[in-house]
């Protein structure tokens, strides 16, 4: 257990929970603390009726109780100081006191060197105050206030605690966004292990007040309905909330030595950043997360399969949850044995309380501590169906809405926290060990010492302790007394309650609740008056000197003459001293307490008597020990400080007892602000003008070279001001482009939010031109939306097969198509009864290059029939079409008995499913395989949607209407891409950004995937296979000779030269991709997943020529212009149409904008079958030979492309069907 860190105390304030106990109770019972906001409160805050009535405005949040309250008097704050201090700093201070007391450590006066490590949010309270002051007195009034800065900046969160509690260890602020508090725990652990401190407070705070709801934005972080549903198919984003949490940490050996209450053990922690290996600055990376998780497990010495619960970050965003699930799975399996599944519970506290920003990690840790401590697995509320069922099914995790228990008792638990910006933190938590320190000795009676700031709070302390003793009869009274002594800071008002531990708990509680006399006047010094022989008194005096830290004065007297100074707490020690109790001594001095030294029979003790009460250690003699205890507690009651730990003699366990009952007042500077003015009603003819603030440039002062907006163009002025604020440039002109200004996906969301806030319309940056977007172009779009009917809404309301009117822009049409009606979900109607592997499949396209191989593999891998939709009107024509396509791909003709035909005729797919022809669709279809826009399809989106998006919408509508719930979508990598400003990497996730500059086919594929996601939310089982550039068959070399790739390769071999082309291509053999589709689509692990059916490394055309050279077909590199000249001359000389000078340009349709493509999902399938998607020179030559045997133009150029005798043959068997 070297390096183990004990968690000995917890303090927190979370939604619906004032304390850790209430928080744990809410978690254990699956309570959700997200609440509807009071509309009257929102109106009072200045929200307009128009905004409140908007269906996009979410009036739901999770705030913490008592956000405006603070124990200002207790901590020595004046009302003005309290109001100027941000609530997250105030509540964090209270939580630290709570945590230390729960650990049995005195918050003030502990001898341990204690550090504070914490992170907080940007202060919304400070922002509100500064905004109000700026409006009233200008910018200078907002920024020139030291009290506001000290009270509101997160830098002072830990140092304020250190100052108020007198802590002398490191005080470190940690800012890693959402992972701040768990990162703080990591650095607290390191500080303890290095010996830099003896004890550490670690946590975070985020108090987002006032909480007024938000306007939901599609694709942004916040959820559509205000709830957070981590890992659930219905999740639409996160729900930001408030929370404060802190833990007390010590080295485990030290905690056990001192009898601290060890709640759990931190076995290992790790932090790290995703770096650039992700799709954008705000996007996480599964690889980066996996590295941190594996590192934490390695530090802890725990294998992934030893975990029984993982408390995930669980933001509830579709992209974030999928990436986290994959990263956690990879991290748990790093360096382990077999890939076990389903052995570990998974959940996230965000389902209960929302996302409390920098305090999210500590919330998860506090939840996990209870899991490790009790072995009980909490329920995961709001969970119905996993968003990524396939990923979950082959992961180590299970998710349950019901509480459970770890199979092997107290489990190892892992906590994960992911910060926006890429900083991940992970902690591995283990169960607490058994105590090693002996408990406090039980005596006939025990004295419970209680103290508080005033009598009212002292009564509350006593009541709370009484309640605890009644509720938990197992609490040992001796250790309760020990904890109250060593684990509390003594305060001015004190009380000693003497109880008999053997009594019924109700009697003990009654004694604590009984009215008490006011505490006596406090005294600062103590004197011991001894009227006994030195040999008799010495052991007692030694004990009392220990109790009072050597500060007691000793006066030795004889007889009845007690001449002692006044103003001290006086203890008279000796035989027969009872007669002095309560009497006045000489000089008017009162004897405050007497400590008799005599045996049980009242006889004076004989020093030589081994049975006397003073023999040996007085603490070992019950009678004298009790008298000593009475004397010391009496002195404490009078204000004398006692070294209780020294008197414990290495015994006594500190317990988690009720913490201090703060008396709080409301200190809320926002109460004093003037009520906000009602916003003017917005009409279609008006739009808000730019708000001028001090420091803005006057009209006409634009930077040289920038065209000033028209004087009457209020929309452009407002938007130009918005862009200037977001990019922090006062000289920004109306035509400066988003990408050149450094815009990224997060900046795009800020632009969209600002436009929506000011004008009430949704305008995404893609719609305005993506990286080429400008303020002027944004203004044009906004003016069109605020002065003309909503074209998108009108388009969305039309039947999906109807022709679309001319939209304002292509983006308008995309927006409309994203909202295409998909019909209602109905139960199964007889169609859809074959949802098993043996059920019938509907293949909506069977004549394309990939489709032909997919049909073949579906027949090979399953027993059911495959119904094929064909664009012909007659059965014979359809059969001939399938036969010809199979022959062209060197495949056997499909068996008519197993391939019924659905004849779509000239109406096409949309007409088949939307019209009366739907009645001919067969019963028994259990699943559908549909091909979206083919890879490389080009043209305007408005022309392609009729053959791609609208038929797919009709198909989904038909499926939902007949209860068919299983669909496989064959999409392409062109539907993917890195977000604005992101690194050049395509993540293997369902959620993908719409990239600026996408060609029409790519947009159609992207829209199709979004429609699929909508259907999935209603319960449809879905999976997406994305292909890249499909090479020829690995088995036969069968390829599409019309593809520009083969024209490029054949031309290069013919002229002995090739153009240099370094554009990235993602490739795989067509038969390998088709077999993966057919087999993985039948596997439950594919449900909800996206598969990139390409090699993990992209290649270039240049690399393909290098592979041919390695296969003894070398060509030289020339410029593209020279190559085109050579090819054109050769084509003219030989009249060979296969030679295409423009083939390199045509290949541009298949090049990707990213140099890295993640393709991990099918790796286990590839490994199990011994497959490899990477191209080889032999594979390329085999396809060229296939083309030469089928096309005269290729044969004339190449002849028979003889392969080397040692060339490896294809590994896929594609012969025969069953």
For the chain, state the CA radius of gyration: 38
- Burial class (CB within 10 angstroms; exposed 0-12, middle 13-18, buried 19+) of 712: exposed
Residue 274 CA: distances (Å) to CA of 289, 295, 461, 705: 7, 14, 48, 40
Rounded distance, CA 679 to CA 50, Å?
A: 10
Report which DSSP code applies to 17.
Answer: B
DSSP string of 654-700, one letter each residue: -----------EE--GGGGSPPPPPPPPP-TT--PPPPP-TTPPPTT
The predicted pLDDT at position 838 comes to 46
3-class secondary structure, 551? coil
Domains of the chain in start order, with CATH, are 5-430 (3.40.47.10), 446-513 (3.30.70.3290), 526-647 (no CATH), 714-788 (1.10.1200.10), 823-1027 (3.40.50.720), 1039-1069+1094-1218 (no CATH)
Rounded distance, CA 295 to CA 1044, Å?
A: 47
Parallel, antiparallel or unpaired: strands 171-173 and 114-120: parallel
Written in H, E and C, the secondary structure of 301-345 is CCCHHHEEEEECCCCCCHHHHHHHHHHHHHHHHCCCCCCCCCCEE
Give residues with Cβ within 8 angstroms of 1006, minimum separation 6.
Answer: 975, 992, 994, 998
- Burial class (CB within 10 angstroms; exposed 0-12, middle 13-18, buried 19+) of 1022: buried
Q: Are 316 and 235 in contact (CB under 8 A)?
A: yes
Exposure pattern of 1052-1070 as b/e (b: 16+ CB <10 Å)? bbbbebbbebebbbbbbbb
Count of CB atoms within 10 A of residue 490's CB?
18
| Through-space distance between the first and last CA atoms of the chain, rounded to whole angstroms | 60
φ, ψ at 529 (rounded to 5°): -100, 115
> Residue 713 has which token pair?
């163009």
3-class secondary structure, 894? coil
Q: Are 280 and 745 in contact (CB under 8 A)?
A: yes
The single residue listed with the structure tokens 């707490």 is 569
Q: Are 284 and 991 in contact (CB under 8 A)?
A: no
Q: Are 916 and 935 in contact (CB under 8 A)?
A: no
Written in H, E and C, the secondary structure of 824-872 is CCCCCCECECCCCCCCEEEECCCCCHHHHHHHHHHHHHCCCCEEEEECC
The predicted pLDDT at position 802 comes to 37
> Residue 507 has which token pair?
């009697």
Q: Are 468 and 475 in contact (CB under 8 A)?
A: yes
Q: Which residues of the chain have pLDDT under 50?
A: 579, 581-588, 605-616, 679-707, 711, 788-807, 831-838, 979-982, 1203-1205, 1207, 1211-1218
Q: Are 731 and 703 in contact (CB under 8 A)?
A: yes
3-class secondary structure, 503? coil
Report which DSSP code applies to 222.
Answer: B
DSSP string of 1096-1147, one letter each residue: SB-B-HHHHHHHHHHTT---EEE-HHHHHHHHHHHHHHHT-TT--TTHHHHH
Rounded distance, CA 124 to CA 240, Å?
A: 13
Total number of residues shown for the chain: 1218
- Of the candidates 288, 287, 219, 238, the one whose C-alpha atom is nearest the C-alpha of residue 992 is 219
3-class secondary structure, 421? coil
Ranges of H-type helices in 109-179 = 124-137, 139-143, 146-152, 156-165
The predicted pLDDT at position 147 comes to 67
Rounded distance, CA 53 to CA 121, Å?
A: 30
Rounded distance, CA 689 to CA 760, Å?
A: 14
Q: Are 373 and 263 in contact (CB under 8 A)?
A: yes
Give residues with Cβ within 8 angstroms of 15, minimum separation 6.
Answer: 33, 34, 62, 63, 64, 65, 241, 242, 243, 352, 353, 354
Bridge partners, residue 553, by sequence: 527
Q: What percent of the chain has pLDDT over 90?
A: 50
Exposure pattern of 29-64 as b/e (b: 16+ CB <10 Å)? ebbbbbeebeeeebeebebbeebeeeeebbbbbbbb
Rounded distance, CA 832 to CA 954, Å?
A: 17
Rounded distance, CA 231 to CA 224, Å?
A: 15
φ, ψ at 470 (rounded to 5°): -70, -40
The predicted pLDDT at position 794 comes to 32
The predicted pLDDT at position 892 comes to 96
What is the value of pTM for the model shown? 0.77
Rounded distance, CA 618 to CA 573, Å?
A: 13
The predicted pLDDT at position 687 comes to 37
DSSP string of 743-756, one letter each residue: --HHHHHHHHHHHH
The predicted pLDDT at position 609 comes to 42
Rounded distance, CA 187 to CA 203, Å?
A: 11
Count of CB atoms within 10 A of residue 305's CB?
17
Tens of pLDDT, residue by residue over 497-546, are 999 998 889 999 999 999 888 777 777 788 888 877 777 788 888 999 89
The predicted pLDDT at position 362 comes to 98
> Residue 932 has which token pair?
């979206």
3-class secondary structure, 181? helix
Rounded distance, CA 718 to CA 687, Å?
A: 9
Q: Are 196 and 169 in contact (CB under 8 A)?
A: yes
- Of the candidates 799, 793, 835, 797, the one whose C-alpha atom is nearest the C-alpha of residue 1019 is 835
- Burial class (CB within 10 angstroms; exposed 0-12, middle 13-18, buried 19+) of 545: middle
Q: What residue ranges in 944-1101 does DSSP mark as E strands? A: 966-972, 985-986, 1021-1027, 1029-1031, 1057-1059, 1067-1069, 1090-1092
Rounded distance, CA 258 to CA 176, Å?
A: 34
- Of the candidates 566, 555, 565, 564, the one whose C-alpha atom is nearest the C-alpha of residue 531 is 555
> How many CA atoms are closer than 13 Å to the CA of 881, on its beta-carbon side?
21
Give residues with Cβ within 8 angstroms of 408, minimum separation 6.
Answer: 308
H/E segment holding residue 526? strand 526-530
């Amino acid at each position: 257990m070297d390096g183990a860190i004990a968690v000995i105390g917890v303090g927190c304030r979370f939604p619906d929970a004032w304390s850790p106990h209430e928080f744990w109770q809410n978690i254990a019972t699956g309570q959700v603390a997200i609440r509807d906001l009071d509309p009257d409160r929102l109106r009072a805050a200045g929200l307009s009726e128009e905004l409140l009535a908007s269906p996009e405005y979410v009036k739901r949040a999770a705030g913490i109780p008592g956000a405006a309250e603070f124990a200002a008097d207790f901590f020595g704050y004046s009302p003005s100081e309290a109001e100027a201090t941000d609530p997250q700093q105030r509540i964090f201070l209270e939580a630290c006191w709570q945590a230390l007391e729960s650990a049995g450590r005195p918050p003030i006066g502990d001898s341990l060197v204690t550090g504070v490590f914490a992170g907080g949010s940007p202060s919304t309270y400070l922002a509100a105050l500064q905004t109000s002051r700026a409006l009233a007195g200008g910018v200078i009034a907002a920024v020139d206030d030291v009290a506001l800065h000290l009270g509101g900046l997160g830098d002072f969160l830990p140092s304020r605690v250190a100052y108020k509690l007198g802590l002398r260890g490191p005080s470190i602020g940690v800012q890693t966004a959402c992972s701040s508090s768990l990162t703080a725990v990591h650095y607290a652990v390191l500080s303890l292990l290095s010996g830099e401190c003896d004890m550490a407070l670690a946590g975070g705070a985020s108090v987002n007040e006032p909480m007024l709801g938000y306007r939901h934005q599609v694709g942004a972080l916040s959820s559509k309905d205000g709830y957070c549903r981590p890992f659930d198919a219905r999740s639409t984003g996160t729900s930001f909330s408030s929370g404060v949490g802190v833990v007390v940490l010590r080295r485990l050996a030290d905690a056990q030595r001192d009898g601290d209450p060890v709640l759990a053990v931190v076995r290992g922690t790790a932090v790290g950043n995703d770096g650039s290996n992700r799709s954008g600055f705000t996007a996480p990376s599964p690889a980066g997360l996996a590295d941190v998780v594996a590192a934490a497990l390695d530090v802890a010495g725990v294998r992934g399969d030893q975990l029984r619960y993982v408390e995930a970050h669980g933001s509830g965003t579709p992209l974030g949850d999928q990436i986290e699930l994959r990263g956690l799975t990879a991290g748990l399996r790093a360096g382990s044995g077999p890939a076990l599944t389903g052995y570990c519970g998974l959940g996230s506290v965000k389902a209960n309380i929302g996302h409390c920003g920098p305090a999210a990690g500590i919330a998860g840790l506090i939840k996990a501590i209870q899991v490790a401590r009790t072995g009980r697995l909490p329920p995961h509320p709001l969970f119905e169906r996993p968003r990524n069922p396939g990923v979950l099914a082959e992961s180590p995790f299970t998710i349950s809405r019901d509480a459970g228990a770890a199979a092997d008792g107290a489990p190892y638990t892992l906590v994960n926290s992911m910060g926006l910006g890429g900083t991940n933190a992970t902690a591995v938590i283990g169960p607490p060990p058994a105590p090693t320190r002996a408990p406090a000795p039980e005596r006939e009676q025990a004295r419970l010492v209680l103290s508080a700031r005033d009598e009212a709070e002292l009564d509350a302390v006593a009541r709370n302790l009484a309640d605890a003793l009644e509720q938990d009869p197992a609490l040992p009274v001796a250790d309760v007394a020990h904890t109250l002594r060593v684990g509390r800071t003594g305060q001015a008002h004190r009380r000693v309650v003497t109880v008999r531990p053997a009594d019924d708990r109700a009697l003990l509680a009654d004694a604590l609740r009984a009215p008490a006399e006011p505490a006596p006047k406090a005294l600062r010094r103590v004197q011991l008056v001894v009227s006994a022989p030195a040999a008799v008194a010495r052991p007692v005096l030694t004990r009392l000197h220990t109790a009072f830290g050597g500060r007691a004065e000793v006066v030795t007297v004889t007889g009845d003459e007690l001449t002692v100074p006044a103003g001290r707490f006086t203890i008279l020690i000796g035989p027969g001293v009872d007669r002095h109790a309560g009497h006045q001594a000489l000089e008017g001095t009162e004897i405050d307490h007497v400590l008799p030294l005599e045996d049980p029979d009242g006889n004076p003790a004989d020093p030589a008597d081994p049975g006397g009460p003073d023999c040996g250690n007085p603490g070992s003699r019950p009678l004298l020990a009790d008298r000593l205890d009475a004397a010391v507690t009496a002195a404490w009651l009078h204000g004398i400080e006692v070294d209780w730990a020294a008197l414990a003699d290495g015994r006594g366990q500190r317990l988690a007892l009720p913490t201090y009952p703060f008396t709080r007042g409301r200190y809320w500077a926002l109460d004093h602000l003037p009520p906000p003015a009602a916003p003017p009603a917005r009409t279609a003819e008006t739009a808000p003008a730019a708000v001028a603030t001090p420091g803005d440039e006057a009209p006409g002062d634009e930077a040289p070279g920038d065209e000033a907006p028209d004087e009457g163009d209020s929309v452009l002025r407002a938007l130009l001001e918005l862009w200037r604020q977001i990019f922090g440039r006062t000289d920004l002109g109306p035509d400066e482009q988003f990408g050149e200004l450094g815009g990224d996906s997060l900046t795009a969301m800020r632009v969209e939010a600002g436009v929506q806030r000011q004008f009430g319309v949704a305008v995404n940056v893609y719609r305005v031109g993506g990286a080429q977007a400008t303020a002027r172009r944004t203004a044009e779009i906004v003016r069109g939306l605020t002065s003309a009917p909503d074209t998108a809404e009108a388009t969305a309301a039309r039947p999906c097969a109807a022709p679309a009117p001319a939209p304002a822009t292509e983006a308008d049409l995309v927006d409309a198509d994203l909202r295409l009606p998909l019909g209602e979900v109905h139960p199964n109607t007889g169609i859809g009864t074959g949802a098993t592997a043996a059920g019938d499949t509907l293949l909506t396209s069977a004549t394309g290059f990939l489709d032909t191989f997919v049909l073949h593999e579906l027949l090979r891998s399953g027993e059911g029939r495959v119904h094929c939709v064909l664009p012909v009107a007659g059965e014979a024509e359809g059969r001939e079409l399938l036969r010809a396509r199979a022959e062209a791909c060197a495949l056997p003709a499909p068996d008519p008995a197993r391939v019924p035909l659905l004849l779509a005729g000239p109406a096409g797919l949309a007409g088949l499913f939307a019209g009366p022809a739907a009645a001919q669709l067969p019963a028994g279809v259990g699943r559908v395989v549909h091909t979206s826009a083919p890879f490389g399809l080009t043209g305007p989106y408005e022309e392609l949607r009729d053959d791609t998006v609208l038929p797919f919408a009709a198909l989904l509508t038909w499926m939902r209407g007949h209860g068919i719930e299983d669909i496989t979508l064959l999409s392409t990598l062109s539907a993917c891409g890195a977000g604005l400003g992101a690194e050049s990497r395509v993540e293997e996730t369902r959620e993908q950004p719409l990239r600026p500059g996408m060609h029409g086919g790519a947009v159609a594929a992207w829209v199709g995937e979004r429609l699929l996601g909508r259907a999935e939310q209603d319960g449809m089982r879905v999976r997406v296979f994305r292909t890249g550039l499909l090479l020829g068959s690995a088995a036969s070399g069968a390829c599409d000779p019309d593809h520009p790739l083969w024209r490029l390769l054949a031309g290069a071999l013919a002229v002995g030269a090739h153009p240099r082309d370094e554009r990235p291509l993602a490739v795989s053999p067509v038969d390998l991709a088709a077999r993966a589709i057919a087999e993985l689509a039948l596997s439950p692990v594919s449900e909800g997943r996206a598969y990139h059916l390409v090699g993990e490394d992209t290649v270039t055309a240049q690399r393909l020529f290098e592979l041919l050279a390695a296969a003894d077909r070398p060509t030289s590199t020339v410029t593209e212009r020279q190559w085109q000249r050579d090819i054109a001359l050769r084509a003219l000389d030989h009249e060979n149409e296969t030679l295409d000078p423009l083939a390199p340009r045509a290949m541009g349709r298949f090049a990707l904008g990213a140099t890295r493509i993640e393709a991990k999902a099918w790796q286990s399938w590839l490994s199990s079958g011994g497959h490899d998607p990477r191209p080889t020179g032999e594979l390329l030559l085999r396809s060229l030979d296939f083309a030469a045997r089928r096309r005269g133009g290729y044969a004339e150029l190449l002849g028979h492309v003889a392969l080397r005798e040692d060339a490896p043959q294809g590994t896929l068997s594609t012969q025969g069907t069953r």
